[in-house]
């Protein structure tokens, strides 16, 4: 079945550091890929998405590129802020939105 793997957390960075959170997936078809963010005490928010190979999703300074050859969708940000501290979930969906699969989440802490 489909699955999503993320790098182990927690990740602790200093403010303005470069961020990479790795995400790889296994899918039988051609899924859409997503990054969701969960701030402390809140629900999940859609951060960015990509629907086909080589698409780049971007939002709030975060980027991720859909790499079909490496089945990856790594999240990057050039300069993190304290307000980026949250848990980040990589996810995929196929079959018309059903079978939404989440990765285990990566907790990011950004220190001032």
Q: Please write down the long-range contacts of 8-13, taking CB distance under 8 Å and 24 or more positions apart.
A: 8/106, 9/87, 9/105, 9/106, 9/107, 9/108, 10/106, 10/107, 10/108, 10/109, 11/106, 11/107, 11/108, 11/109, 12/108, 12/109, 12/110, 12/111, 13/80, 13/108, 13/109, 13/110, 13/111
Q: Which is nearer to other proteins, 17 or 67 (CB)?
A: 67
Binding mask 25-64 for other proteins (x = CB under 8 A): -------x-x-x-----xxxxx--x-x-------------
SS3 of residue 92 by DSSP = strand
List the one residue from 1, 29, 40, 97 that touches other proteins (CB under 8 A).
Answer: 97
Least gap, CB of 13 to other proteins (angstroms) = 20
Q: Which is nearer to other proteins, 63 or 100 (CB)?
A: 100
Least gap, CB of 105 to other proteins (angstroms) = 5
Number of residues that bind other proteins (CB under 8 A): 20
Residues at the site binding other proteins, with contacts judged by CB under 8 A: 32, 34, 36, 42-46, 49, 51, 89, 93, 96-98, 100, 102-105
């Amino acid at each position: 079945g489909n699955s999503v793997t993320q790098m182990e957390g927690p990740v602790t960075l200093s403010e303005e550091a470069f961020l990479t959170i790795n995400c790889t997936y296994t899918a039988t078809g051609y899924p859409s890929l997503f990054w969701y963010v969960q701030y402390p005490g809140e629900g999940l928010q859609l951060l960015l998405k990509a629907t086909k190979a080589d698409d780049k999703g971007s939002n709030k300074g975060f980027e991720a590129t859909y790499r079909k050859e490496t089945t990856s969708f790594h999240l990057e940000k050039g300069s993190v802020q304290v307000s980026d501290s949250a848990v980040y979930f990589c996810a995929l969906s196929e079959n018309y939105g059903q079978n939404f699969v989440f990765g285990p989440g990566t907790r990011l802490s950004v220190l001032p």
